Amino acid sequence: MSTDPAPEDGALDAYSSIVTSVAANLTPRVAALRMRSGRGESAGSGVVLTAESHLITNAHVVGDADGGKAEFSDGTTAQFRVLGRDPLSDLAIIRADREIPSPPEYGNADSLLVGSLVVAVGNPLGLSGTVTAGVVSGLGRSMPARTRTAARLIEDVIQTDAALNPGNSGGALADSHGRVVGINTAVAGVGLGLAVPINRTTHQIIYALMHDGRVRRAYLGLVSAPAPLTPVQAERFGQRQALRVVEVVEGGPAARSGIRAGDLVLAMDGVALGDAQSLQRRLLGDAVGRRLEITVLRNGALVDVVALPGELPE
């Protein structure tokens, strides 16, 4: 009688091996965070970011607290202070007051595919070192974020069916190689979790929070949405999508430049724009007060306008 494992057993063993390997690598590097502020006590998770004791978490986890306590699975505890928070990306950077475990490897969420295996590590409901696994259920999702003076959509949010619960926020979402590709940020419903992606835009935000304590954003005063180009237009301009201007704020930089509702924004400073993230990436920090050349398609004709963006107030 054969004792060889059935093929499905082999697949399950491989799945288990991946999850246990990722868990063993990440669990020591994810801390349980506790804060006290004017709103009372709160808790969440944070992921080691650098060898200099920085951690990354959610802006909504730290809230308006100045600091708090981080506890790791090996019993290491540290006090931390908040270096910077950015509610419009729901990211925050904190720094511990002593040596903490080394950081994990960070990957690029842009390489994920729907169906990719992901592992979530966090501290839900006060249960430290909790590991759940699932797949990427969707990519390119949007999640609203706002401050007292501004609102926007966090773009390219990762949707996963890995079980998330309160306290998972700020924890790590990793790929099958153990690389952190997202920061778990929301429990949207049963069987549905969301994570802010780690990608080129995120790295710009992280750098700004670490060095400046805040993220400066340029303000154009328009609302746009991705729109497909016709096959003829796509061939002519070498891109399949543009951004359709839905609304222009009266008196804002876009309105003063001559941009109108209904225009299709093709490019900014010669760089093609096909989604909201590509526009937001162009409007970080150094775009404030800088002359921007914007190419739009209006009634079938190309129109070049020049805008001088202001700074989005905090």
Residue 177 among the catalytic residues: no
- For residue 188, the tally of other CB atoms under 10 A from its CB is 14
Q: Which of 53, 60, 86, 89 is catalytic?
A: 60
Residue 60 among the catalytic residues: yes
Q: Which of 86, 90, 156, 175 is catalytic?
A: 90
Residue 73 among the catalytic residues: no
What's this model's pTM, rounded to 2 decimal places?
0.80
Per residue in 195-246, pLDDT tens?
999 998 899 899 999 998 988 888 888 888 888 999 999 999 989 999 999 8
Say if residue 281's pLDDT is above 60: yes
Q: Whose CA is closest to 70, among 121, 28, 125?
A: 28
What is the spatial distance between Cα 313 and Cα 216, in angstroms, rounded to a whole number?
Answer: 9
